[in-house]
Amino acid sequence: MAIFKPADSSLAKELEDGPLRRELYGEPPAPAPEVEPKGEETRLVFTGTGSEYFRIWVTHLLLNLLTLGLYSPWAKVRKARWFAQHTRLLDAPFDFHADPKRILLGRLAVLALLIGFLGATLAAPLAGAFVLGLVYLAAPLLLISAQRFRFANTSWRGLRFRLSAPTKEIYRASWPLLVLLLAGIALDQAEATRGFALLTSFVASLVWPWTHAQFKGLQHGYAAYGNWRFDYRNDVRGFYGAYLGAAVFLLLGFLIVAVAVSVLGLVAGAWLPQFSADASLVYGLCSALTVYVVFVPYVAAKLQQVVWQNTQCGEIVFRGELQAKKFIGLAAGQMLLTLLTCGLYWPFALVRISRYRIESLVVISTERPLESLAASAGAANTTGVFGEGWVDAANLDLGW
């Protein structure tokens, strides 16, 4: 309540703002200043070394040779566990808990499926096409099953992650590509002209970025850690931008390779007449290396930024800082060293590449310190070993 109300309101302007002025002139309390929440940023850290992983890699290689590949599930789990345990957030390591025996069963099931497919193809091409169509139809479920298996066996601070993408959403994300793949099988069986097959492949390549974006949405939108559920805002335009940029760089790389091989053929042709006959093989190998050191790192770098900036988990947001130019240079250098050492440098290269990818992810707590955030235990899901085996056999891994 005001004590008095002066006739001249200009007196109010001469008195400094404060409790006395508000008491004398009956002014409402000044609003509290808005304070923007300060985000606490924490970067993932990778502590593994190339020399340590080299010893593991050599051991796995020898055991796989001695067991004709039967040791590969144990090698896979040990490798995944080593990389997980050397990845730390807030100085707490991740962990991987998969059972190698279950992975072996999944791989044996995949092997039986491949043998059945080959047998059906040899017996009757139409039967082989039918089995291949069934594989295509099952592929989306198997792919998500593999990711569900990986999530359910990955933990941090004693809590496991989980993935619960509905079957309806899985096929909603994949039906355009499935239709094109099945159409390709049908055209092949009908002995259609090559033009139709090329058109189907071209349209499939246009649909792939959209499909990839949808599957990333399934991985990040239906993931959870304890009672914290992830949320994802799909950015299809960002996926098309990443693939378009990678395609431009890839075409430029192919052009450089073609010019280099041609010049090398002209220079070496006088001394090595056989080189001109092997030029196509050299061009093919160099083109494959170009895909590995240009296309793959560029897409990975751009998509890390796109995916993680659209991912949120409760009060936690993320930022991907993987740089395409730096990643391409790193991949090219590591590939060169691997080739010069006949593959012996590969474990060191893998560790260097993994360190850069892992440490480029920043975790940001928007309200409270990340250390204070607690999550209750969630239900673990350890299914999906068949999908894990199929992904390995097809060499597919959308990952995070």
Domain ranges, ordered by start, for the chain:
1-35, 97-227+381-400
The Cα–Cα gap between 150 and 77 comes to: 10
- Give the tokens for residue 15: 């008195």
This prediction's pTM: 0.78
Q: Residue 303 in contact with residue 318, Cβ under 8 Å?
A: no
pLDDT at position 326 = 94
d(CA 104, CA 88): 29
Q: Is residue 82 classed exposed, middle or buried when 0-12, 13-18 and 19+ CB atoms within 10 A define those classes? A: middle
- What was the pLDDT predicted at 51? 95
Distance CA 27, CA 30 (A): 8
Task: Please give the pLDDT value at position 319.
Answer: 93
Residue ranges in the chain modelled with pLDDT below 70? 1-39, 191-194, 264-279, 372-400
Strand partners of residue 312: 231, 317
- What pLDDT is stored for residue 215 in this prediction? 94
Question: pLDDT of 377-399, one tens digit each?
Answer: 444 444 444 445 444 444 444 34
The secondary structure of 189-225 as a DSSP string is HTT--HHHHHHHHHHHHHHHHHHHHHHHHHHHHSEEE
Q: Are 201 and 184 in contact (CB under 8 A)?
A: yes
Residues 6+ apart with CB under 8 A from 185: 129, 132, 133, 136
List Cβ neighbours of 83 (8 Å cut-off, separation of 6 or more): 48, 96, 354
